[in-house]
Amino acid sequence: MLRIDPEYKKKLIDPLFAPLDLNFKLSAGVLLALIGWGALLYFRQIFLGLGVTGMGRPVYWSMYIVNFIFFIGISHAGTLISAILRVTGAEWRRPITRVAEAITVFALIIGSMQILIDMGRIDRLPFTVIFGRLQSPIMWDIISVTLYLLGSVTYLFLPLMPDLAIIRDNLPPGVPEWRRKFYTILSLGWRGTKAQWVRLEKAIAFMAVFIIPVAVSVHSIISWILASTLQPGWHSTIFGPYFVIGAIFSGIGALFIAMTAVRKVFGLEKYIALKQYRYLGLLFIAMNAIWFYFTFAENLGIATGQQTYEMPILAVKLWGEFAPTFWLMIACMAVAFYILVVPPMLKQQTAQRTFVFQPRFARMSAIVAAVLVGLLVVPNLVNVPFLAVSGTTVAATVLWILLILNVLGFLLSVSQWLKANPVTSIVIASALVVVGMWLERWNIVLPTVTHPMLVSSSTYTPSLTEISIMVASISGFMLMFMIFFKLFPPISIWELAEGNIIEQAQSRVVIPQPEISGD
Amino acid sequence: MPKWSMVIDLDKCVACQGCSIACRFENNTPVVAPDQAKLGRAMRWNDVFPLPVNPTEETGEYPHVKAQYVPRPCMHCENPPCIKVCPVGATFIDEEGIVEQNYARCIGCRFCTVGCPYGVRYFNWYEPQWETPLAEHLNPDRVEGQGVLEGPAVRPLGVVEKCTFCIHRLKKAHAQAEAEGRDFRADEYVPACVQTCTGKARFFGDLEDPDSTVSQLALKPRSFRLLEDGGTHPKTIYLREG
């Protein structure tokens, strides 16, 4: 019989057995409907063929591949936080490892599904095993993703085992029989003996070290699928590290959003505290900076080399048809960087009196910025005679400068509010990063496939099927998350308790005063 | 073993697209509706397109404009980027240097279509269809076997297809020589596009034989290959205009 702190029981175990509330049922219903619709369109795609997508020649790869890279990227949240922080013994990781590991598993499941959805002949999937050629980067991908999925599930399950045993021994009265059986079977006879603990710690330590290179290999190989072709814009050595950094970056963003959701739903403010946000936030800032560095480095060589087939790819990103998504991506990342770095550095008292920090200024700059966006966008969409002037180069330049100044003004004016609400501001930054990273994948895949060397340039618009399947994928990810945290505790109970013991032991250590020498 | 090669003299090519049509009927390439063609789903194993592919100011200003057309079968590279990336070996290079495509093996991942820098590979977005008169006159030739489906055989849904230098014609020529109990000669076989070429701009033969027409033409100073610096070593060779 394993014991548990009554407070942990109340916060972490009892909610698992609370009856499903209306919010849960409603959101699960909506998500299920979206998944159903996506599944329906997918089956239609199987029978009719990939013609139901927006793809053609030369756009042979598009949104499914973008989503594949994106979701596998998100899955890097778990490895990084859990494995690296466990290996380095960072104590503050304890309350967030469970959420991080869960993200990994779910994002991997959804991510690998994208590649299956993209296959023209799903019925021939066994051929990859029967006739698999190790020379093909797709085979490397199948092997590393499978290994990563198995490793992640193991890595999620190992630290879960003692918690499952704790739940098994502390079930509230009147629990349905299947849940009793569920926890009994899954806890695999865990009794918390010393031998079991030693074995578990050994296994976790091994898995933590093992999974880091596997995770790095996964996103490197995905980048090599692109980089191993001759296609302009892809045939680059920087892709491996660039993709890994991007994956970790988007993973941390997803983790912030997920852990804030868990924190709010379960009321875990005491455990997932500001400390976790601050420390992980530092890592987030570092990744943001490295991401900017890599993005610059990736494009610099193309810009200075000006090669026949490479340069047009960069040109469409900088000022061609992919400029909106490219600059939106840059804007997302830059604003996220601002939100993470600037507000925490401000002084609170002096700022209150300054004009730029007043809500009036925020409202004003937001309205002006919205008007400027309107002036810039509307002439491109409809022909309004008196707005045509803003389409000219000089006017557009002035409008863009004014817009940037106004956005900066707005960001400055809300800085005090952001400083006062650190959790909300980090979630905003995370959302921007997750959107920005999806756009980054789009900006890597699409400009190259639409601008090949010996086929005339093409365009791509996703079809209803592709959009529905993307929505269904995101819904599936969220639903798995919701169901998981209805069955398993959102925080690793035993690791939290272990952390408390370590902290108490450390606080009892008396640090001797330095001796003052006689002479 | 011969190494099959094609030489296309751009001085003689009149861009009539007869090669495309001959190829279509020889190889049962599916026909698509105009709305599908707009989405880039038209299949032309042997395409004829302007070079540069996106005409810009560089091709000149009226009246000093220059239009160059390039007929493009598969390059049948000696170092093909497409076969390296195929996860299941559905595309492979045979001992005679022809890059083949097995429709019965292809899983439709389209890595080869993305990997080919020449864009010679096509995907069956829908089940191939022909209207009535066309459907009655499909080429009955096919290369078939246990787990093998190649050449003009009607393609199943969701697989990749490409120019095979009319592999079925080669197989037939080999079979005939064997039946007659004699050695196969390199001049017994040409692809349909070579046979039909209006301007007699296409030459076909064995690159291993130093006396063959293609070997001789390949040595000409006018000869070049598409994307030569890609390291793919195409066996489809062009002779420059002018």
Write out chain A residues lying below 8 Å of B227, CB-based.
230, 453-454
Average pLDDT for residues A344-355, to the nearest whole number? 68
Work out the pLDDT band at A389, boundaries 50, 70, 90.
low
**Distance between CA atoms of A475 and A28, rounded to whole angstroms?**
9
The share of chain B scoring above pLDDT 70, in percent, equals 98
Closest CA in chain A for residue B47: A455
Q: Do B88 and A128 touch (CB under 8 A)?
A: yes
Residue A519 falls inside a structural domain: no
Q: What pLDDT is stored for residue A169 in this prediction?
A: 84
Q: Are A183 and A164 in contact (CB under 8 A)?
A: yes
A351 pLDDT more than 60? no
**Range of lowest pLDDT (B35-39, B40-44, B62-66):** B62-66
Q: Do B41 and A51 touch (CB under 8 A)?
A: yes
Q: What pLDDT is stored for residue A270 in this prediction?
A: 83
Q: Residue A497, exposed/middle/buried by CB under 10 A (0-12, 13-18, 19+)?
A: middle
A349 pLDDT more than 60? no
Q: Are A410 and A229 in contact (CB under 8 A)?
A: no
Residue A507 falls inside a structural domain: no
Which residues have C-beta within 8 Å of that of residue A365, sequence separation ≥ 6?
Answer: A406, A407, A409, A410, A413
Q: Do B119 and A58 touch (CB under 8 A)?
A: yes
A453 pLDDT more than 80? yes
Q: Are B232 and B81 in contact (CB under 8 A)?
A: yes
Q: What pLDDT is stored for residue A384 in this prediction?
A: 66
Q: Which of A349, A512, A482, A498 is nearest to A420 (CA)?
A: A349
Q: Do A54 and B113 touch (CB under 8 A)?
A: no
The share of chain A scoring above pLDDT 90, in percent, equals 50
| Alpha-carbon gap: A228 to the closest alpha carbon of chain B (Å) | 8
pLDDT tens, position by position, B99-130: 999 999 999 999 999 999 999 999 999 999 88
The overall average pLDDT reported for chain B is 92
Runs of H (alpha helix) within A158-238: 160-169, 177-186, 194-227
Residue A488 falls inside a structural domain: yes
pLDDT tens, position by position, A38-95: 999 999 999 999 999 999 999 999 999 999 999 999 998 777 678 888 888 888 888 8
Q: What pLDDT is stored for residue B57 in this prediction?
A: 56
Q: Which domain holds residue A371?
A: 10-502
Write out chain B residues lying below 8 Å of A59, CB-based.
40
Q: Which of B4, B2, B1 is nearest to B237 (CA)?
A: B4
**Which residue among B107, B114, B157 places its CB closest to the CB of A127?**
B107
| Alpha-carbon gap: A288 to the closest alpha carbon of chain B (Å) | 31
The overall average pLDDT reported for chain A is 88
**Distance between CA atoms of A441 and A226, rounded to whole angstroms?**
11
**Range of lowest pLDDT (A124-128, A328-332, B139-143, B192-196):** B139-143
Q: Which domain holds residue B56?
A: 4-239
A388 pLDDT more than 70? no
Q: What pLDDT is stored for residue A50 in this prediction?
A: 94
- Residue B125 sits at the chain A interface (C-beta within 8 Å): yes
Q: Which residue has the higher pLDDT, A412 or A223?
A: A223
User: How many interchain CB pairs under 8 A, A with B?
Assistant: 143
Average pLDDT for residues B29-54, to the nearest whole number? 90
Work out the pLDDT band at B133, boundaries 50, 70, 90.
confident
| Alpha-carbon gap: B120 to the closest alpha carbon of chain A (Å) | 9
Residue A16 falls inside a structural domain: yes
Work out the pLDDT band at A429, boundaries 50, 70, 90.
very high
Alpha carbon separation from A502 to A167, A406, A509, B19 (Å, rounded) = 23, 50, 11, 79
A191 pLDDT more than 80? yes
Closest CA in chain A for residue B125: A51
- Residue B241 sits at the chain A interface (C-beta within 8 Å): no
Residue A514 falls inside a structural domain: no
Quote the tokens at residue A207. 């898995």
Quote the tokens at residue A514. 């330095």
Alpha carbon separation from A86 to A90, A92, A212, B60, B133 (Å, rounded) = 6, 10, 11, 64, 70
- Provide the number of structural domains found in chain B: 1
Q: What pLDDT is stored for residue A518 in this prediction?
A: 59
CATH number, domain at B204? 3.30.70.20
**Distance between CA atoms of A61 and A450, rounded to whole angstroms?**
10
A519 pLDDT more than 60? no
Average pLDDT for residues A242-253, to the nearest whole number? 93
Q: What pLDDT is stored for residue A390 in this prediction?
A: 59
**Which residue among B40, B81, B226 places its CB closest to the CB of A57?**
B40
Q: Which of B213, B239, B192, B225 is nearest to B79 (CA)?
A: B225
A490 pLDDT more than 80? yes
Residue A515 falls inside a structural domain: no
pLDDT tens, position by position, A101-116: 999 999 999 999 999 9
Residue A1 falls inside a structural domain: no
Q: Residue A134, exposed/middle/buried by CB under 10 A (0-12, 13-18, 19+)?
A: exposed
**Distance between CA atoms of A162 and B72, rounded to whole angstroms?**
65
Q: Which of B135, B29, B155 is nearest to A120 (CA)?
A: B155
Q: What pLDDT is stored for residue A240 in this prediction?
A: 93
| Alpha-carbon gap: B182 to the closest alpha carbon of chain A (Å) | 36
Q: Do A118 and B109 touch (CB under 8 A)?
A: yes
- Provide the number of structural domains found in chain A: 1
| Alpha-carbon gap: B31 to the closest alpha carbon of chain A (Å) | 14
Q: Which residue has the higher pLDDT, A379 or A100?
A: A100
Residue A289 falls inside a structural domain: yes
**Distance between CA atoms of B2 and A511, rounded to whole angstroms?**
85
Write out chain A residues lying below 8 Å of B158, CB-based.
49-50, 119-121
CB < 8 Å from B in window 410-469 of A: 449, 452-458
Work out the pLDDT band at B66, boundaries 50, 70, 90.
confident
A190 pLDDT more than 70? yes
CB < 8 Å from B in window 100-119 of A: 115, 118-119
**Which residue among B81, B125, B127 places its CB closest to the CB of A230?**
B81
Write out chain A residues lying below 8 Å of B84, CB-based.
135-136, 228
Q: What pLDDT is stored for residue A350 in this prediction?
A: 56
Average pLDDT for residues A342-360, to the nearest whole number? 71
Average pLDDT for residues A228-256, to the nearest whole number? 92
Q: What pLDDT is stored for residue A269 in this prediction?
A: 85
* B236-239 and B4-9 beta bridge pairing: parallel
**SS3 readout for chain B:** CCCEEEEEECCCCCCCCHHHHHHHHHHCCCCCCHHHHHCCCCCCCCEEEEECCCCCHHHCCCCCCCCEEEEECCCCCCCCHHHHHCCCCCEEECCCCCEEECCCCCCCCCHHHHHCCCCCCEECCCCCCCCHHHHCCCCCCCEEECCEEECCCCCCCCCEECCCCCHHHHHHHHHHHHHCCCCCCHHHCCCHHHHHCCCCCEEEEECCCCCCHHHHHHCCCCEECCCHHHCCCCCEEEECCC
Q: Are B109 and B152 in contact (CB under 8 A)?
A: no
